[in-house]
Every structure is written in C-alpha cells, then in structure tokens.
Amino acid sequence: CGIFGIFNHAEASNLTYLGLYALQHRGQESCGIVSSDGTSLHAHKSMGLVADVFGNQEIFKSLPGKSAIGHVRYSTTGSSVIKNVQPIMVDYSRGSIAVAHNGNIVNAQIIKDELEAYGSIFQTTMDTEIIVHLLATSKANSLLDRISDSLNRIKGAYCLLFLTETRMVAIRDPNGFRPLCLGKLGSSYVVASESCALDLIDAEFIREIEPGEVIIITKDGLTSYFPLQKAEPTPCIFEFVYFARPDSYIFGKNVYQVRKEMGRQLAREHKVDADIVIPIPDSGVPSALGYAEESGIRFELGLIRNHYVGRTFIEPQQAIRHFGVKIKLNPVRDVLKDKRVVVIDDSIVRGTTSRKIVKMIRNAGAKEVHVRISSPPTSYPCYYGIDTPNRKELISSSHSIDEIRKYITADTLGYLSEDGLIGSVGTENTGYCRACFTGSYPVKFPRLGIAPQLD
C-alpha cells in the first residue's frame, strides 16, 4: 500500500490526490482521502484507481480543510471489498480519528479475539482496524501515550498516518519494514511512502522517518518521539527489487541506482554469450541496463508493454481464447529474430508469466533465451505487507533452479545470489529483511496456525 498526508495547506485534499497518484504503483485496488477542516473529518473513498476515484473536481468540495491523509490499497489482509477501503475513519469518545496503514500486523488475530471478548465490534476484515480499536479503548490521557500503548501491543510491519481534527501523526514501526519520508512544502509538512510523491507536488525532501519514530504535527509544528520498544531495523529489501518506484529514495538510497547495480552484479555472476539484453518491462528495465553495461552486450527493447493495462484488467468473459500476457506485452520481432537473447526480470513468483514470456520471445524468432533474475529465488511468503502467494504456489519453494528453468523453457536460468543482492544494496545496513528469500523472519509470529502458515 501507499500512504500520503499533508498538514496545513489550503489545497490539502488536492495535493493528497496528486501524492496518491504518484504512489499508485503501491496499490491499485482502492483508494481514499480523509480531510480535516479543523473541527471535523471528511472522507471520500472507493474501489478503483486514483484518477478514476478522484477524477471529478467536484469531489474535492466534499473534502474541505487544510490537512488530509490518503491511501492506495493493495490487499495483504482482508478481502478486496469496499468496506475495507482506507483510510478508516471512526468517531469515539474523544472525537474522530482516521488512519491509513501500509504493512501487515502479524498478531492481528490474537488481539482481535481479545478485543471482541471485551465487546469491540469490527466493521472491516482488515488488521488496520485493530489499531483504531486499541487507540479508542486505551485509557491513557495523551494521544502519544494512547499511541504507544496501542502500538506496543502489535507486532509486524506498519507505516501509519493518523489524522484527527487538529493533528496529523506519522509512525514507522521499530523494524522499519516499509519506507516513509518527511517533506516540506512552504510551511506545510508532507509525509509519503516514497519520495516520488514529494517530487510531484514540488515538496522538499527533509528526511526519512526513522524506525520506531512517532511524529506529531500540529499548528505549532512538528515533534518527534521514540516511545516504542526498540528493535534492530530490518527494512524490506524487496522494496528495492520490485516494489518501490526507481525514481524514489528509500532507506537512504536511490532505487534506480540499486537496481542497476543488481543488474551489473547479475552479469558478473551469470555470464553468457548472447547478442542482446532485454528487460521485462517495467520492473526489469534498470537491472537490464546494468547487465548490458557490465557484460558489454547490447541493450534492446524486445517487449513492448501496454501501459494502460492495470492489474485490475479483466478479459472479456466470452473470450474466444485466453489472451493472457499478450494483453500486457508484445514482442518486437525485428529485435528478437535469430538472436541469442538475455531476458532480465526482477523475480519469479509462480513462474506462469515467465513461462509465457519465454515462449513469446521464442515465437518471435529468438534463437536462445537466457533468463536472468535480479534477486534470489523467492521461496517464502511475505508476512510484512507484500502480497506474495502462499508457499505452495511459489515455484522455487518446491523446485530446483534447473526444474524452474525447464518449466519456463529457458536455455539457461540464473538468479542473483543473496550476497550479490546485499552487495548491490550496500553493506552499511546488513539488517535488511530478506525473509522471502531466506525464510528467516525478523518478527516472529505469536501463535502458529492462526497467523502465517510456514508451509
């Protein structure tokens, strides 16, 4: 998911719309904005893409006020239905509060059971709602104490934005799984999942919000606190591999440069004699450039992507046949014909898309197809906010690299090593979470059988 918030700006909800638009890659299922006019909160949210949900200027009349938070959703917990669209807004004894969450809480079910036993009634199936209930039922007096009370009970990954009538609060969990940054636009503070959202609205990047940091913004300014139990930071390395936008700066690095280095390292680890290097657009582009640079093999665009196909595209029900990946990608025959081709992608999840793409490249006349993946095999699911399928569906959890090569019908297949990945990201922080590659989960699950199933 992606979150964005702005405090103290006359165009707060309009700017939040733009910020969410820049974060669209982090979630395409649904989106929403909640604004505050100083005395009450206003919400507009719906299923669909940002431009579709907020395309009508009239909507902003219903989102008045000088502060706003927004959310783009891609579901990791809770099904994809309208009641699960964020930000969630609730009224309780102390007023109203809205929350937008990026991440995944691993002890959600246990806390939910407890809260329900004490009479809480949940409106959604999202783990995010638990945070709201904890806040609402906390007996502490100050907002900061209620937040630390509540958050010290939850485990997992969370970047949060809260909006009350008069305050905006930004929080990054002690492990710092997901990125979150702070910016300034004139005298307004801005918070966003990725810096690309600050760029779009011409806000200045100030710094990243630190793991475990709670920032409270009021009309008197910004105050930073560290009230949460400390942990060794474990930012998500997969943000660099796939999730974040290449123009963003996250965890102190530019994503594009990191991806390009992954490609160079991939070329050093898995050389092959070939005529051209092509990316699987868009996620494979920077690493394909790096591979081409390091190997000296020419970079070409052998597959063209239709940029208007969202993840939500549904083929016509009565289709004569299944068009599948062809809806999104089409080969350039003149580029591929009679060539020995190196194809670069960021990851193989189920293997089904990769298999179709290799066939497509061969059908376009390629003589050889060598697949190179700019990360290690994805053998384990993520429980910290990235929507990977369960273990059984991850092809590398039960197949050797050679079996995967055969399945996707490639001539050769090479994955970036774990050391190569760490080296590309930089060795200053070796604490990156890379559990989807290693199975070593930095935040444990409280009760087996309820939260994540490890096999």
User: Which residues make up the interface to ligand SF4 (CB under 6 A)?
Assistant: 177, 236-238, 382, 384, 386, 433-436
283 binds Mg ion (CB under 5 A): yes
Query: In this chain, which stretch among 119-127, 165-173, 180-188, 348-356 interacts with ligand 5GP, using CB under 6 A?
Result: 348-356
283 binds ligand 5GP (CB under 6 A): yes
- Contact residue for ligand 5GP among 350, 359, 367, 399 (CB under 6 A): 350
Is-catalytic flag, 236? no
Query: In this chain, which stretch among 2-10, 171-179, 278-286, 326-334 interacts with Mg ion, using CB under 5 A?
Result: 278-286
Measured from the CB atom, the residue of 353 and 412 that comes closer to ligand 5GP is 353
CA-to-CA distance for 44 and 86, rounded, in angstroms?
Answer: 10
The 3-state secondary structure of the chain reads CEEEEEECCCCHHHHHHHHHHHCHHHCCCEEEEEEECCCCEEEEEEECCHHHHCCCHHHHHHCCCCEEEEEEECCCCCCCCHHHCCCEEEEECCEEEEEEEEEEECCHHHHHHHHHHCCCCCCCCCCHHHHHHHHHHCCCCCHHHHHHHHHCCCCEEEEEEEECCCCEEEEECCCCCCCCEEEEECCEEEEECCHHHHHHCCCEEEEECCCCCEEEEECCEEEEECCCCCCCCCCECHHHHHHCCCCCEECCEEHHHHHHHHHHHHHHHCCCCCCEEEECCCCCHHHHHHHHHHHCCEECCCEEECCCCCCCCCCCCCCCCCCHHHHCEEECHHHHCCCEEEEEECCCCCCHHHHHHHHHHHHCCCCEEEEEECCCCCCCCCCCCCCCCCHHHCHHHHCCHHHHHHHHCCCEEEECCHHHHHHHHCCCCCCCECHHHHCCCCCCCCCCCCCCCCC
Q: Which does 433 bind (CB under 5 to 8 A by kind): ligand SF4, Mg ion, ligand 5GP, none?
A: ligand SF4
- Contact residue for ligand 5GP among 16, 347, 374, 375 (CB under 6 A): 347
374 binds Mg ion (CB under 5 A): no
Catalytic residue, chosen from 1, 31, 181, 236, is: 1
Measured from the CB atom, the residue of 96 and 374 that comes closer to Mg ion is 374
Q: Which does 347 bind (CB under 5 to 8 A by kind): ligand 5GP, ligand SF4, Mg ion, none?
A: ligand 5GP
Measured from the CB atom, the residue of 170 and 361 that comes closer to ligand 5GP is 361
x-or-dash string of contact with ligand 5GP, 43-82, rule CB under 6 A? ----------------------------------------
User: How many chain residues are in contact with ligand 5GP, going by CB under 6 A?
Assistant: 17
280 binds ligand 5GP (CB under 6 A): yes
Min separation Cβ 209 and ligand 5GP, Å = 23
What residues from 359 to 388 belong to the interface with ligand 5GP (CB under 6 A)? 386-388
14 binds Mg ion (CB under 5 A): no
Min separation Cβ 295 and ligand SF4, Å = 27
Backbone angles phi, psi at 347, to 5 degrees: -160, 160
Q: Which does 434 bind (CB under 5 to 8 A by kind): Mg ion, ligand SF4, ligand 5GP, none?
A: ligand SF4
* Burial label, 73 (beta-carbon count in 10 A; 0-12, 13-18, 19+): buried
Measured from the CB atom, the residue of 215 and 358 that comes closer to ligand 5GP is 358
403 binds ligand 5GP (CB under 6 A): no
User: How many chain residues are in contact with Mg ion, going by CB under 5 A?
Assistant: 1
Measuring CA to CA, how many Å separate 392 from each of 242, 383, 418? 21, 15, 22
Q: Which does 147 bind (CB under 5 to 8 A by kind): ligand 5GP, ligand SF4, Mg ion, none?
A: none
Measured from the CB atom, the residue of 7 and 74 that comes closer to ligand 5GP is 74
422 binds ligand 5GP (CB under 6 A): no
Which of 17, 18, 49, 47 lies closest to 33 in space, CA to CA? Answer: 17
Contacts with Mg ion, residue ranges (CB under 5 A): 283
Contacts with ligand 5GP, residue ranges (CB under 6 A): 242, 280, 283, 311, 345-354, 386-388
Catalytic residues: 1
